[in-house]
Amino acid sequence: MLRLALKMLFGDHAKYLMLISGITFATILMTQGAALFAGLMSWTSSTLRNVRSEIWVADAKVEQIGDTKPLRDVDVNRVRSVDGVAWAAPIFQGNLQARLFDGSSKLVTLIGIDSTTLAGAPVKMVEGALEDLRLPNTVIVDEFGVERLGEALGRPLRLGDVFEMNDREARVVGICEAVRSFTGGPYVYTTYERAVHYAPLQRKTLSFVLAAPREGLTPQEVSARIAAETGLRAFTEDEFMWSTIWWYVVNTGIPINVGVLVALGFIVGIAISGQTFYSFVIENTRNLGALRAMGTSTPRLCAMLVLQSLAVGIIGYGIGLGVVALLGHGALRIGKVPFLLLWQIPAGTLIAVLCISVFSALLGIVHIARLEPAIVFRS
Amino acid sequence: MKTHVSTAPLPPGLALQLAGIDKSFGAGDSLTKVLKQTHFDARLGELIMLVGPSGCGKTTLLSILAGTLHADAGDVNVLGSPLHALSEAARTRFRAQHLGFIFQQFNLIPTLSVAENVSVPLLIQGVRPAEAERRACEMLARVGLPEKTRERPGKLSGGQQQRVAIARALVHEPSLLVCDEPTSALDSENGQRVMQLLRDVARDPRRTVIVVTHDPRIYHHADRMAEMEDGKIFRVLHTPADIAAAHQLN
């Protein structure tokens, strides 16, 4: 009987396609919206993945990685003096204009790392050597920067190419991998001392202090000690990432906009699928009544409806997820659209789709439960 | 309040016996009494017709004896089972096992093939799909449609669809065949062909065919005829000759 239930569903091409379309559309809206949100949030904390450090020390008022309230240079030594700190190094982060070969300029995110230890250096070099950063007027550019800053040349940037920041020469000696930033500017790495020269003059220039715990101590323990002894704010890498993401959630309209998109997907799914499935059941009332008259039990009829509804849900979900994967693949290739498909997103969408399917089936079941088998004898 | 009297065993030769059946629809001012202390019986091996004007209660009586509708009062004894005393689930099982249905509008599922439609009663009983389909094809051959097993019902003529419905009603070899206006959607020729099939079924002494109709063209196929009016059976014609005489059949 369950096989026949599926045949009844698949045989009604118009309703079947409508149901599949509704679930597919809902899946696309919900998954794409959530992946967009996850992608945006991952961009907000990109510096944390491009500059790896177990402990980040910032001004006491800092809440997120993009919010730099400069520290005094002596704060590096204050952090170093805290018991349990293995090492501490200064880091500069700032958004600057890079002046290109044709006179145009592009926004870049400049990272200045400690020239001695190179702490905070790019995680993976694609071309060139990290140590070349110690040569005069040198920078390392990320792969996005290679494209972006090369637009003026009409070709991707190469090692040895030169551009300017704050009227000072920056010669490319390396290309690295980096996660895209929320501001859209490519990452440019140089030494801390040089970064301070590239940046407009400021009284204080130290953005953060990077630190590591001594062996046997956890980053949580040491960051708590740093905060207690220096009065600065110390985060572990994870804490800083979540603090950054949470700041964007609370202080921007992103979650509301994306939430509306996801909710819209759910509502569209409920409305289209629920209504279409209900009308499918209504149109099949006489057939279902005949099955009941012929001796099909109510639980069996309900199981048939649930199977039909779940089949539509799973197929629509699969198609929708496939479309999102293709869109995501395209988005990642272009590189300009935030997209991060965490496993929790398809899992959450699946639960939402199953809820839509169960709701649709319930509408039909309520109708079937009230159905008198004698209806088949009425003309 | 539903009231029922106790059920005595069926007298020999009877397939079913309904006694003192009351049935109303609606409530308060809109209450309509459709059946009023109605009595009805049918014998094994006969084709009995239930006739009367529209609204006289034929279909309601048919629904009650088929176990698809519960009477307000009275005894419904079908094939030895007191349907009035059975639960909904038990009546559903009873219908699956003992009853075959033929509906006015055929009620074939349009998205299933003819063979799949015919196999439905077997699938309800839990017969494996391959076996059910084999038996369905055999039954289709018996009603003269061996070449239509893979067709969709919509591709068949009205007469062919009703023959498919008859195959579906017979495939699980029920003892009682319940037919609601089986010829009303058919032309005269197809109507006669369908009735001849039902007539043949009723020759089996283990089976009973009950036909609700107001189509006088098929009255001559009946062994007996119960005539209804205003919620009651007012006359039973016990022989084909009585039927012919009463309805001036040639």
- What is the predicted pLDDT for the residue at A378? 65
Distance from CA of A281 to the nearest CA of B (A): 13
Residue A312 sits at φ, ψ, to 5 deg, of -60, -45
Measured between alpha carbons, how far is A379 from B9 in angstroms, rounded to an integer?
A: 35
A144-148, A333-337, B22-26, B158-162: least confident range: A333-337
Provide mean pLDDT across the span A332-340: 78
User: In a 3-state reduction of DSSP, which class is residue B154?
Assistant: helix
Distance from CA of A11 to the nearest CA of B (A): 5
Pairwise CB contact (< 8 Å): A286 & B59: no
Pairwise CB contact (< 8 Å): A295 & B107: no
Angle subtended at Cα B168 by Cα B164 and Cα B174, rounded to the nearest 5 degrees: 140
Non-local CB neighbours of B93 within 8 Å, separated by 6+ positions: A295, A297
* Distances, alpha carbon A246 to alpha carbons A42, A44, A51, A99, B133, in Å: 12, 10, 20, 34, 62
Find the CB nearest A376 among B88, B96, B103. B103
Average pLDDT, chain B: 88
Among residues A110, A109, A101, the alpha carbon closest in space to that of A151 is found at A101
Find the CB nearest B68 among A10, A11, A374. A374
- What is the predicted pLDDT for the residue at A2? 85
Pairwise CB contact (< 8 Å): A286 & B107: yes
* Distances, alpha carbon B64 to alpha carbons A168, B39, B95, in Å: 98, 12, 12
Q: How many CB atoms lie within 10 A of CB B157?
A: 11
Cα nearest neighbour of B170 on chain A = A294
More confident residue, A69 or A379: A69
pLDDT tens, residue by residue, A246-264: 999 899 888 888 888 888 8
* % residues pLDDT > 70 (chain B): 96
User: In a 3-state reduction of DSSP, which class is residue A303?
Assistant: helix
- What is the predicted pLDDT for the residue at B250? 62
Pairwise CB contact (< 8 Å): A293 & B101: yes
Q: Which residues pair with B206 in a beta bridge?
A: none
Pairwise CB contact (< 8 Å): B101 & A376: yes
- What is the predicted pLDDT for the residue at A282? 86
Pairwise CB contact (< 8 Å): B96 & A8: no
- What is the predicted pLDDT for the residue at A379? 57
* pLDDT band at residue A317 using 50, 70 and 90 as cut-offs: very high
* pLDDT band at residue B181 using 50, 70 and 90 as cut-offs: confident
- What is the predicted pLDDT for the residue at A158? 92
Angle subtended at Cα B100 by Cα B99 and Cα B101, rounded to the nearest 5 degrees: 120
* pLDDT band at residue B3 using 50, 70 and 90 as cut-offs: very low
Q: Which residues pair with A206 in a beta bridge?
A: A71
Residues of A in contact with B103 (CB under 8 A): 290, 376-377
Distance from CA of A310 to the nearest CA of B (A): 19
A-B C-beta contacts closer than 8 Å: 86
Cα nearest neighbour of A301 on chain B = B124
User: In a 3-state reduction of DSSP, which class is residue A136?
Assistant: coil
Strand ranges for B26-110 from DSSP E: 32-43, 47-51, 73-78, 81-82, 99-102
- What is the predicted pLDDT for the residue at B2? 44
pLDDT tens, residue by residue, B42-68: 999 999 999 998 888 898 999 999 998
**Are the CB atoms for B162 and B102 separated by under 8 Å?**
yes
More confident residue, B105 or A72: A72
Q: How many CB atoms lie within 10 A of CB A282?
A: 12
pLDDT exceeds 80 at position B8: no
* pLDDT band at residue B201 using 50, 70 and 90 as cut-offs: confident
pLDDT exceeds 90 at position A210: yes
pLDDT exceeds 90 at position A286: no
* % residues pLDDT > 90 (chain A): 53
Cα nearest neighbour of A290 on chain B = B107
